[in-house]
């Protein structure tokens, strides 16, 4: 079967049972941005073969055109581990096509894209994004992983919102938790275009704050942090399998790093980046004002 993410197409070779589990996995839909599964295996960019073996430790071998994951599948290597490896291979393919992945949440209005970023969970990225959709007429681009192309356009993201933190049920509508895209469309507007990235926001949403604490980043600081964020994906900083005990090797190359650096420098000269700390209503209203003035 072929698993696609944006312009990247990965041929996955595995057992029929494992293929069926991948096809029905809600984790795959939430973890891999713009995930599409098809049976047309004639056109693909890379091939991943999954081998079930009794070896004690997993083996991940990556090649330019073909990779393999070998180990005790379903025992020591879980379905989530396999999906992690699949997305890692897709990340390599995406970067060869100058498409990059940001960890965060994204919304858009009037063809202006807003991305909320922050390396740790719990800052308020998802909460702020969904609040803008419910109360300020924004459309939802994606959550957790956002795809941005070489022109600075947001071309999609993960469309399944999963409440993996208890407080999300208090700050967001519980009805949107873990909904498939068809049902999510009934709750919030879904972006149908590829809006241009205009604002990069680092939010800290607090229920106790009064007023908004803010900092506008310089172009140099934006460039620095954007490159840092995009590089985490391809170098496997957060890629570990087998109960987070087996780190996956970096897939970065000097050529990819150079292209990524050029991309960050170009995008940073065209967007505005801000840090905001405050309560949800004041932070989101500040973002609305920025969008209206740009």
Contact criterion met (CB below 8 Å) for 192 and 156: no
Q: pLDDT 10s digit of each residue in the chain, 294 long?
A: 999 999 999 999 999 999 999 999 999 989 999 999 998 878 899 999 999 999 999 999 999 899 999 999 999 999 999 999 999 999 999 999 999 999 999 999 999 999 999 876 767 899 999 999 999 999 999 999 999 999 999 999 999 888 876 667 677 888 898 888 999 999 999 999 999 999 999 998 876 767 888 999 999 999 999 999 999 999 999 899 998 999 999 999 999 999 999 999 999 999 999 999 999 899 999 999 999 887
Contact criterion met (CB below 8 Å) for 1 and 22: yes
Same-domain pairing of 138 and 206:
yes
- In the listed set 48, 76, 95, which residue is the last one of a domain according to the structure? 95
Name the phi and psi angles at 103, rounded to 5.
-80, 115
Same-domain pairing of 70 and 110:
no
Q: Model pTM?
A: 0.94
Structural domain count, the chain: 2
Same-domain pairing of 107 and 46:
no
Which residue is associated with the tokens 């890379």? 46
């Amino acid at each position: 079967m072929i698993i696609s993410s944006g312009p990247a197409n990965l041929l996955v070779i595995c057992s029929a049972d494992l293929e069926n589990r991948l096809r029905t996995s809600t984790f795959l839909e939430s973890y891999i941005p713009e995930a599409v599964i098809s049976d047309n295996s004639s056109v693909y960019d890379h091939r991943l073969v999954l081998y079930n073996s009794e070896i004690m430790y997993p083996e991940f071998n990556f090649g330019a055109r073909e990779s393999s994951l070998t180990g005790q599948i379903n025992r020591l290597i879980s379905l989530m581990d396999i999906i992690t490896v699949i997305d890692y291979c897709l990340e390599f393919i995406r970067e060869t096509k100058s498409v990059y992945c940001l960890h965060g949440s994204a919304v858009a209005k009037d063809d202006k894209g807003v991305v909320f970023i922050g390396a740790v969970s719990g800052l308020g990225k998802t909460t702020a994004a969904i609040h803008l959709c419910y109360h300020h007429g924004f459309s939802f681009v994606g959550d957790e992983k956002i795809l941005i192309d070489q022109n600075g356009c947001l071309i999609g993201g993960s469309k399944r919102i999963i409440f993996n933190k208890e407080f999300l049920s208090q700050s967001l509508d519980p009805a949107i938790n873990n909904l498939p895209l068809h049902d999510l469309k009934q709750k919030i507007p879904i972006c149908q275009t590829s809006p241009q990235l205009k604002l990069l926001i680092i939010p800290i949403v607090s229920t106790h704050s009064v007023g908004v604490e803010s900092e506008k980043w310089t172009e140099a600081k934006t460039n620095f942090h954007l490159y840092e964020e995009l590089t985490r994906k391809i170098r496997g900083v957060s890629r570990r399998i087998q109960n987070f005990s087996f780190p996956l090797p970096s897939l970065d190359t000097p050529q990819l790093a150079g292209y990524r650096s050029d991309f960050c420098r170009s995008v940073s000269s065209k967007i505005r980046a801000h840090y905001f700390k405050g309560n949800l209503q004041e932070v989101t209203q500040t973002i609305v004002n920025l969008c209206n003035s740009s």
